[in-house]
Structure 1
């Protein structure tokens, strides 16, 4: 009987340890996938900011968003729906606002949570014959089912 009890306890401990490892791997994979989405977001935005960008480039960034996506930027007008933000991107492109002055979006720090990432980043832009780093800015990304559901700008 003692042998069976030892085997049972050993099996339970082994299953518990295995589940912990699987849960840790799943959490890491989840965090990695969110981080990849934020990187794609910044890479696509950098492409959009160039003079040769197209509507297809804008469409690609919006593929990263949920249908109920919102963009919140209190300093620049408050809350925008997905459609409001899309219209703004298209308007800026048609008005020539994407002029290639931004040459990089440099991510300085990240804090990755269960369904959110806070990023400190700065724009790097052309200035005369050189480059200039902008001020660090903070952005919160929230996610639903692996897509960006909200961006809140804290600058």
Structure 2
């Protein structure tokens, strides 16, 4: 084989591949359109959620025959921050259903018991600080 025949074979193979890819790109959207128009009952269902949850359970018990200074304290600091977005877009025949939510929950349960024979200054305190911040968006678009 000479160099011209090899070059021509490479050209034919490359051109054949390009034609197959072009046909696939052209026919695939047409197939999807035909399917959608044929049924007229297709719709979209979407469910999205962003959930954050925190829980704190603390128990403290002190029994002392003397002074219980700064003892049996429960401290709970909880912070939730959501800066993300929850976006949804749908288009379809036959109706669309979208269920979106952004939820944040926090709970704290604290118990403190102090039994002392002396002073209980600064003891048996339950301190709970909770913060929730949501600067994200929750948007849905349907047609």
TM-score under structure 1 normalisation? 0.29
Choose between structure 1 and 2 for higher RCO, CA contacts under 8 A separated by at least 6 residues: 2
For the pair shown, the structure with the greater C-alpha radius of gyration is: 2
Structure 1 or 2: larger strand share?
2
